[in-house]
Chains A and B, each alone.
Chain A
């Protein structure tokens, strides 16, 4: 068998089977008799919407949850995985969507965490560092063990996660939405690593909801929907429409027929806008942008390069330290959100659960968060007319296809997609001239995403100027008329959205396109 060992010196997992896995959470059947298997040398994609049960299933494999029924077999032997330590001992590693790293600790300290030290109670960071360097050479994963995590780029942090799993002897790696935070170049780098790991005999589970990635990287794909397995097919037999239909349960529009943009007058003008970030560093640096009615301008960029600050400056939630914001001809630099609402600016915030809704409030209350003082909803601007509010909300629920038991349901019990539709309904109820949409479909299922996208296009055709801020390049390319790329608080490039080169965008996003 020794010739079959992994490069780390550990035994491979030739075959892992999960059969009839059931998991109940209060009120939800999160996994309903799911079968899943993965082999050594294989990249098996697990595809599904948010809440389909992908992460739940894999968390059971990693010992974070315990199945209510069903069996896990490793190389044919039935195994109980009580906790992550058990999983690690059985050669199972997991790369979480939100990296499980401690920012203030170094790479070596993060890897040593939770492991036995060769010196008993004392840490043996020098020993760990040496092994890390060895492994990073074997797998071509360059990482400096003495660097603190917070100083590393996201892609590097992910490499640390992978290295740590390998260090602990992972023969099977579970990757939970590993590309969500990466630039296109970093995704290419990750895919190279994954292919190498598979070639070396590791078994890989690739969790994703992005169709093209699944098609590109996996050998086999299993689709989950509402806690059930829809099917498992070889990737060679899969197509995008076929997978999308399996995910959603009905045919889905993946590309939109866009009318040519009928641009009108300039509605939003930013000139030389600057602002600080939360950390007090430069957040926005002299940003200028012009939007006309009837067009969508996409803002692409890696998370944390000023997109949030940009949206907040326009929406009146962050102090603009220099420059001007003009909406429909009026200077609204540092205006209050209520004044901005009155002038026809709407804002779909990035953090919808924090800035978009009050989750302990009902659907109707959230619907009138801004307009509760409006004459049509009050008597004498003091007493709220709840019947009128409920009626208006009911109409919005119907118009925007929001799935909620009633107008009096608490927002926190709705799904992400329905909450986002509610925010959209509220923001569009004022018939805005300018709409700022920040990450409008992040964490939203394909069905709702399709709806939101078409609604944005409809608003555009009506003459609204839309600023679409997104980290999802596919979304930007599908909807935008023009694309602006942000890097380190600046707009480093602006292109018409015709035959855009993704490589070129990726380069701009990482500062590569900036003229020195």
Chain B
């Protein structure tokens, strides 16, 4: 088996596609964690986003009241709203009620996991396919050899995800809102004393995290796989949480981690396709093992939000 059989252009292209949900979810989680909220419920929110987005598109396309692009946009908006509401729930429990974030996050995950499955059984029943996002054809670029296949054979959401990386970095590092997020995550007492509402900032970031997780789910169910089934995300939301640590809470590094992870994933799929001598179970394990090893060696950074998981209470 030659290297050229494994490292094909399609492997690179699929790595980019596979990275999309991770980038959405992990960037959103970066905002939440930077402000001190560890949302472990990302996977549950992704499942709800995936189901609600899928279902909205499915209903709209069945009824034939909307054109296809409008139905897709409708699905995305529904997923954003559902994700935002779940983020709001997480914020209410962990900021207002000051519950332990680890536990409330698991609660949000289980809620999303169970409800998405239940609604799917009740309203859809068997896996149905929809017309999802298509690849965008760019003049000339798409037809380029190799480069075209790797970079210009993707659907809209892939480009949105990658565009959000510099946007997130800019918001965190160059805006007043970003400064408040960083301060609240490191020293909420100081932020409070400077007139920054710790609760408001944490609500905002947790809801942003929810919206992005909803979008991550929708990118799976209406762009990447184009269907919904039980536990569609298969733990991708948890990987996204780990990627935030892996990237040291910096958007660019988080995205790079998502790319690395997806690349290993894509390779693993390719090895399965060409039936190489490596047992496929090893190939499935590889991305997770690599992530754990990388996390072990990820050093403590200045960016680490020291108030992560700690509810804020004024004046002890």
User: A104: nearest residue on chain B (CB-CB)?
Assistant: B302
Q: Mark A89-125, 1 if CB is under 8 A from B, else 0.
A: 0000010101111111100011011111100011100
Q: Is A88 an interface residue (CB 8 A)?
A: yes
Is B195 a contact of A103 with CB atoms below 8 Å?
no
Q: Is B8 an interface residue (CB 8 A)?
A: no
Query: A150–B306 Cα gap in the complex (Å)?
Result: 13
Q: Is A84 an interface residue (CB 8 A)?
A: yes
Chain B, range 172-203, C-beta contacts under 8 Å to A = 174-180, 182-183, 186-187, 189-196
Is A114 a contact of B180 with CB atoms below 8 Å?
yes
Q: Is B143 an interface residue (CB 8 A)?
A: no
Identify B193's interface contact among A96, A104, A122, A148, CB under 8 A: A96
Q: A122-B174, A123-B174 in contact; A102/B180 too (CB < 8 A)?
A: no
Q: A122-B175, A123-B174 in contact; A114/B182 too (CB < 8 A)?
A: no
User: B193: nearest residue on chain A (CB-CB)?
Assistant: A100
Residues of B within 8 A of A148 (CB): 302
Residues of A within 8 A of B315 (CB): 59, 64-65
Is B314 a contact of A113 with CB atoms below 8 Å?
no
A324 to chain B, nearest CB (A): 32
Is B179 a contact of A64 with CB atoms below 8 Å?
no
Identify B195's interface contact among A83, A96, A98, A109, CB under 8 A: A83
Residues of A within 8 A of B182 (CB): 102, 104-105
Q: Is B303 an interface residue (CB 8 A)?
A: yes
Is A84 a contact of B177 with CB atoms below 8 Å?
no
Residues of B within 8 A of A83 (CB): 195
Q: A117-B176, A123-B175, A123-B176 in contact; A103/B187 too (CB < 8 A)?
A: yes
Query: A121–B176 Cα gap in the complex (Å)?
Result: 6
Is B183 a contact of A98 with CB atoms below 8 Å?
no
Q: A109-B179, A112-B176, A121-B175 in contact; A102/B193 too (CB < 8 A)?
A: no
User: B192: nearest residue on chain A (CB-CB)?
Assistant: A84
User: A114: nearest residue on chain B (CB-CB)?
Assistant: B194
A117 to chain B, nearest CB (A): 5
User: A55: nearest residue on chain B (CB-CB)?
Assistant: B315
Q: Is A85 an interface residue (CB 8 A)?
A: yes
Query: A112–B187 Cα gap in the complex (Å)?
Result: 15
Residues of B within 8 A of A122 (CB): 174-176
Query: A112–B190 Cα gap in the complex (Å)?
Result: 12
Is A85 a contact of B195 with CB atoms below 8 Å?
yes
A62 to chain B, nearest CB (A): 8
Query: A123–B314 Cα gap in the complex (Å)?
Result: 27
Q: Mark B51-86, 1 if CB is under 8 A from A, else 0.
A: 000000000000000000000000000000000000
Is B174 a contact of A113 with CB atoms below 8 Å?
no
Residues of A within 8 A of B191 (CB): 102, 113-114
Interface residues on B, range: 20 to 34
Residues of B within 8 A of A123 (CB): 174-176, 178-179
Q: Mark A385-403, 1 if CB is under 8 A from B, else 0.
A: 0000000000000000000
Identify A113's interface contact among B175, B189, B196, B303, CB under 8 A: B196
Residues of B within 8 A of A98 (CB): 189
Query: A85–B197 Cα gap in the complex (Å)?
Result: 10
Residues of A within 8 A of B190 (CB): 99-102, 110, 113
Query: A96–B192 Cα gap in the complex (Å)?
Result: 12
Chain A, range 291-338, C-beta contacts under 8 Å to B = none
B114 to chain A, nearest CB (A): 36
Identify A94's interface contact among B178, B186, B189, B193, CB under 8 A: B193
Q: Mark B276-309, 1 if CB is under 8 A from A, else 0.
A: 0000000000000000000000000011000000
B282 to chain A, nearest CB (A): 36
Residues of B within 8 A of A85 (CB): 195
Is B180 a contact of A64 with CB atoms below 8 Å?
no
Chain B, range 187-222, C-beta contacts under 8 Å to A = 187, 189-196
Q: Which of A85, A117, A123 has the most CB of B within 10 A?
A: A123
User: B188: nearest residue on chain A (CB-CB)?
Assistant: A102
Query: A96–B178 Cα gap in the complex (Å)?
Result: 24
A349 to chain B, nearest CB (A): 20
Known: A88-B195, A121-B177. 15 other contacts (CB 8 A): A59-B315, A64-B314, A84-B192, A84-B195, A100-B190, A102-B190, A103-B186, A105-B186, A113-B180, A113-B194, A114-B195, A116-B176, A121-B176, A123-B175, A148-B302
CB-CB nearest 9 A-B residue pairs? A114-B194, A85-B195, A100-B190, A100-B193, A114-B195, A114-B196, A102-B187, A104-B302, A102-B183
23 A-B pairs (CB sep. < 8 Å): A59-B315, A64-B193, A65-B315, A83-B195, A84-B195, A96-B193, A100-B189, A100-B190, A101-B187, A101-B190, A102-B183, A102-B186, A102-B187, A104-B182, A113-B190, A113-B196, A114-B196, A115-B194, A121-B177, A122-B174, A122-B176, A123-B175, A150-B302
Interface residues of A (CB under 8 A from B): 59, 64-65, 83-85, 88, 94, 96, 98-105, 109-110, 112-117, 121-123, 148, 150
